[in-house]
Amino acid sequence: MNDALQAWRLDLGSDSFKHTLVFASSNHELPTVVYNGPLLPASTRLQDIAEHAIRPLPPGTLDQLAPLSLLPEEGQGFQGYCGLNVTSIDARPALTQFRIQQVDESVNSIVFHANDNATGLSVSLHFSFATDSNVLKTHTELHNTGSTRWRVDWLSVPVLTLDESFDTLQEYRGRWTQEFSPVVTDIRTGVHLRESRRARTGHDHFPAMIAGTAPLAWTHGAAAAMHFDYSDVHRTVLESLPDGRRQVQAGIAETRWLEPESSLHSGNAFWAFSQHGLNDLAFHYQQMVKDHIVKLPDPKAVRHVNYNCWEAIYFDHDIDRLKALATSAANVGAERFVLDDGWFGTNALPRDDDTSTLGDWFIDTNKYPEGLTPLVEHVNSLGMRFGIWFEPEMVNLNSQLAKHRPDWVLKHGDAKHIEGRQQFLLDLTNPSVVAYLFECIDAILSEHNIEYIKWDMNRDATRAVDAQGHRSLVRHSDAVHALMAKIRHAHPKVEIESCASGGGRIDYRVLKNTHRVWLSDSIDARVRWKMQSEAFLFLPPSVYGSHVGAEKVHTSARKQPMSFRAQVAMTGHMGIESDMDELDDADRKTLMRYIELYKTHRQWMHQGRQYRLDTVHKDNLTQQFVAPQKNQFLVFAGCIDIPVDETTAPLRLVGLDPDADYEVSLINKDDINPLATRIFPHPLIDKPFALMSGAQLMQQGIIPPFPMPDTLWVFYGTQRNRD
């Protein structure tokens, strides 16, 4: 037995899921993760686990394998991607050799405290989870107990290792209207790095990764996932070392200074693990977001059907037209009216396009002679709630604000600056700017019955430095979230939606201060169906907005049937984003039908479990909602392209009670096209419903009709007793 070897364990998870981490330290050095997998028996000798993790050394290598610790240190001889990069003002590296001083343990957490006497630096490495959560939260705190001022170029969250059998990495790329596009690659030797310094997540670098064994599947296989929450300026790293070990790091991608007697925080990583496919990862994350991240003003309230007027009016605000749109929206079942861009400005400088007026957050009395009150009261009289659009972080140079306070604009001197949508960022590191924005937003909310904000952010940061020339991304990000928190505190009944040109700012940090994300500016139902199938891994459907768009999509020029658009919208937080006057009677009736269906089922849909089903072909994307009591379910079986086979394969459901009987019906038989399904003598077609056991549904499955492209088959099942 090695007396210098110490070991600890942390058992993560609820009753239905258990996962064990074992940490080991030799000679009080920073611990390494020596086991990361399914629950170990309570009787397991942790020192045995640690000793059996020791690896042999072949010729031609150093005499000791440098520790891949929770914060890999160059000072310990680690030659890979180090977890800490710190130098002094005169460029001397802090070659730390941290030693553990204290370990704080509880049922739900473990914290390792260590210091380095030579530098005066100390670290705290935190691992924790909520009692009813299966998600592990980790972060690092770096403390300066000495008198040296240190430059910190990199501080990672505590490093976790990946199983060396994992050979596949899935991440996400994208652009405007193409968010959450999965990228699957082999895990290869070397460093795989993703980074964003946009003052928002960006459409291209959602800060998350999933690792597992190919092919990654929804219903089977081992996998691990990590999401980093400091998305405005982030870096994620996966490194496969030459010796085969793998590490994952994440942190803030901006240099910071660590003053004497001060501390820095790495940001938070959220880890989920599964032995049963990607669905379990999704369930772990979704429950954690619902229970511990998003805090709704009324947790018992349903997710109201939104109507957003943007694509009906753009900047052409006319109060009679808006009232008519609100009336039409209410008549089809909308429950909230959101007034988008264009309501603010002055008579001299109205907001008639996107080239001017951002920053002048005052009601345009030319467009609204009596203010917003008549419109708000009309919306409320229809039984609907009222919401409004802001883009607080931005300013047009052609605005009263920029003309009176040019020093508030992040545009310094005569240096070349790249504009985005003819706008610039305000310097939120200046407390006066934040105070002005709060005063404007607070006044609008205080003077009207407004209970919803669409918070937009339509450009990336460039040359992100403050008025003194110091880097400002971290401080800007902190100021944005502090402003959101202050507005929430002042108006606790107001919900906030995070929108950044669609899905440009989505992460768990922004969801701490908001209640909904606008997944994408694309309302092409085909694109949305694919996108939501991926976002579902990290976000519950109750949190991402999913709207019914126009028949002809402005971002793709495709035409799509109302049934398909409405069915896709049902699977998220449902809304409408189109001109109500363009609806004919048939489309209006179809829309009303699916809004009513959403209202009937939304409560249990958002409280229960959601699954994706493994299908034969990649273009057949299927989602299943199961109620918490397993007494009812909805299946949305989508086809987004022309099927390659001559007939359809069964959909094998999951998550049901195998011993229960379910009355199953195809809700949208009227969508069967005889040009696609010519003959189908099936109980689901010939009868009002079919009686099937849970075991039959999961083992034999449901045979759907043959589809046309852009089709969703919607199946509903409810438990009943056999006569």
The active-site residue, picked from 427, 456, 614, 661, is: 456
Q: How far apart are CA 243 and CA 61, in angstroms?
A: 10
Characterize the bridge pairing of strands 5-12 and 385-390: unpaired
Contact 64, 78 (CB under 8 A): no
* Among candidate residues 574, 558, 557, the one with its CA nearest the CA of residue 566: 574
Distances in Å between the Cα of 288 and the Cα atoms of 131, 136, 139, 222, 630 are 11, 10, 17, 20, 20
Please state, in angstroms and rounded to a whole number, the distance separating the CA atoms of residues 611 and 654: 8
What is the rounded distance in angstroms from the CA atom of residue 331 to the CA atom of residue 333? Answer: 5
Q: Which amino acid is at 101?
A: Q
Identify whether the C-beta of residue 208 lies closer than 8 Å to the C-beta of residue 538: yes
Is residue 291 annotated as a catalytic residue, yes or no? no
Burial of 565 (0-12, 13-18, 19+ CB in 10 A): buried
Q: In what order do the strands lie in the sheet with 160-161?
A: 160-161, 246-252, 234-240, 190-196
> Which of 562, 578, 579 is CA-nearest to residue 570?
562
Strands 181-186 and 160-161: unpaired
3-state SS string for 14-81 = CCCCCEEEEEEEECCECCEEEEEEECCCCCCCHHHHHHCCCCCCCCCCCCCCCCCECCCCHHHCCCCC
Cβ contact 449:386 at 8 Å: yes
The C-alpha atoms of residue 444 and residue 169 are separated, in whole angstroms, by 46
Residue 456 falls in the annotated catalytic set: yes
Nearest to 270 by CA among 252, 291, 289: 289
Nearest by Cα to 631 from 716, 556, 708: 716
Interatomic CA distance for residues 639 and 675, integer angstroms = 15
With a CB cutoff of 8 Å and minimum separation 6, the contacts of 606 are 302, 303, 540, 541, 542
Residue with tokens 């008519």: 324
Tell the burial category of 242 from Cβ atoms under 10 Å away from its Cβ (0-12, 13-18, 19+): exposed
Distance (Å, rounded) from C-alpha 46 to C-alpha 34?
10
DSSP label at residue 462: -
SS3 category, 503: strand
Distances (CA, A) of 29 to 24, 55, 114, 488, 540: 9, 18, 8, 44, 40
> b or e along 167-198 (b: 16 or more beta carbons within 10 Å of the residue's beta carbon)?
ebbbbbebebbbbbbbeeeebeeeebebebbb
Catalytic residue among 116, 521, 661, 710: 521
Residue whose pair of structure tokens reads 């260590």 in the numeric block: 114
Output phi, psi for 480, to 5 deg: -60, -50
Give Cβ neighbours of residue 154 (< 8 Å, ≥ 6 apart). 82, 83, 84, 85, 235, 251
Tokens of 129: 């989870």
In contact, 20 and 66? CB cutoff 8 Å:
no
Terminal Cα-to-Cα distance of the chain (whole angstroms): 66
Which residues are known catalytic residues?
456, 521
